[in-house]
Amino acid sequence: MAANVEIYTWSSCPYCIRAKALLTRKGAEFTEYCIDGDEAARKKMAQRANGGRSLPQIFINDQHIGGCDDLHALEARGGLDALLQKVG
């Protein structure tokens, strides 16, 4: 079973698009929460992300990864594949 990947986005956010593109290239299925203008959803996201309000916010198996740069840094360190294969 694949990892549970969740990503909070805004539809026109270039960082969100970039993060989703990396996940897609890796063959990861993910649940996207597009929260354009939804302050209640953003508040819920911020609680899960330890106060992080920037977008995107990415979670793998309920572990907070961070934003787009954090996801790409994880990939550069060689850690993303292992997380994506881990069963939640």
Helix axes 68-76, 14-25, angle to 10 degrees: 30
CATH code assigned to 5-85: 3.40.30.10
Domain boundaries, the chain: 5-85
pLDDT (tens digit per residue) in 51-79: 999 999 999 999 999 999 999 999 999 99
Residue 88, pLDDT > 60, answer no
| Angle CA 27–47–17, to nearest 5 | 35
3-class secondary structure per residue, the chain: CCCCEEEEECCCCHHHHHHHHHHHHCCCCCEEEECCCCHHHHHHHHHHCCCCCCCCEEEECCEEEECHHHHHHHHHCCCHHHHHHCCC
Residue 87, pLDDT > 70, answer no
Rounded to two decimals, the pTM is 0.93
